[in-house]
Amino acid sequence: MSRKKISIIGGGQIGGVLAQLIALRQLGDAVLFDIVEDMPQGKILDIAEAARVDGFDVNLVGTNKYEDIKGSDLVIVTAGLPRKPGMSRDDLLVTNAKIMQSVAENVKKYAPGSIAIIISNPLDAMVTLFQKVSGFDHGKVLGQAGVLDSSRFSTFIAWELGVSVKDVNAMVLGGHGDTMVPLTRYANVNGIPVMELLERKYGNAAKAKEVMTAMVDRTKMAGGEVVKLLKTGSAFYSPASSAIAMAESIIYDEKRLLPVSAFLKGEFGFKGYYVGVPAVLGSAGVEKVVELTLDDEEKKLLDSSVKAVESLVADMERLGF
């Protein structure tokens, strides 16, 4: 099997970590593109010079020329401003929409056969815009958010219960914003419901619920917690790792069922929007959106999360994007 070609658009904090992870895992040949002169070349040179020590052997290119992404199998887009303390993801809308428009035009021109994973915020709106401008099939454009939000939720559960995070399964659905929906009822440790384990730990249901609510709230605000500590940007290690999990499922046709921002054609009762839902990822991109039974409360939460995405997309369209 010849090596896949993966292009990263935006060589900032997330882009740099992505390039290093692709090299370390020998996931494919990587191209790191940025508009800042010499910066992607510098990062790639730095990563490439660790090849002997790390033991990887793939081609790595840093560039300011879109021509270099020609023939890419996969494109990962991180171009755009990150949040600063006090900003919401939605505050990035206008600036990042302009950037996303030019990125999508160039990916369409130079890598028309690729699958695109979008990471730039506000996530669900940026995925929508990339698909609209590129004209790519909906299943070939998807957004990374749910894998990270779910990993954050799983981490908090593992810390609370004193178990390995490897045994925690927890999913977060909905838009990538304050209205995201951590599915508490489905969260489990190797099949044992987290709520049951919390009730055993605390000996009463009310306290268990209170602890779960605190973990849900921390998950929703987890991006902001990191922004507040970093002061100069937002999370970048964990978003990069999350996109790599999606890239691996696509490149190796693993058919992993992961929560991603995928286009809905009636699933969960919604049509025409990109929203975080469980989906099977394989060599064709999003191969299937997987529905699950939601109770009334969960439906209400997902509904208001989709409404928030709808209103953001409407704002974007009103602004001419």
Does 94 engage in binding with ligand A3D (CB under 6 A)? no
Spatial neighbors of 78 by CB under 8 A, at least 6 apart, are: 8, 9, 10, 12, 14, 15, 18, 119, 120
| Binder among 11, 28, 62, 139 for ligand A3D (CB under 6 A) | 11
176 as an active site residue: the answer is yes
| Binder among 31, 97, 123, 173 for ligand A3D (CB under 6 A) | 123
Does 79 engage in binding with ligand A3D (CB under 6 A)? yes
Rounded CA gap, 272 and 4, in Å?
A: 31
Q: Which residue number, 103 or 309, has a Cβ lying nearer to ligand A3D?
A: 103
Instruction: Name the 3-class secondary structure at 316.
Output: helix
Angle at 22 between CA 141 and CA 154, to 5 degrees: 70
Find tokens 């609510």 and name the residue: 213
Q: Which of 4, 140, 152, 176 is catalytic?
A: 176
DSSP letter at 201? H
263 DSSP β-pair partners: 274
Rounded CA gap, 140 and 135, in Å?
A: 10
- Using the contact rule CB under 6 A, the part of the chain among 99-107, 128-136, 182-190, 205-213 near ligand A3D is 99-107
Does 224 engage in binding with ligand A3D (CB under 6 A)? no
Task: Give the residue nearest to ligand A3D (CB).
Answer: 12
Residues touching ligand A3D, count (CB under 6 A): 34
Rounded CA gap, 192 and 212, in Å?
A: 15
The amino acid sitting at 215 is M
Does 321 engage in binding with ligand A3D (CB under 6 A)? no
Does 151 engage in binding with ligand A3D (CB under 6 A)? no
Residues classed as catalytic: 176
Residues that bind ligand A3D (CB under 6 A): 9-15, 34-36, 78-83, 92, 96, 99, 102-103, 119-121, 123, 144-145, 148, 176, 233-236, 239
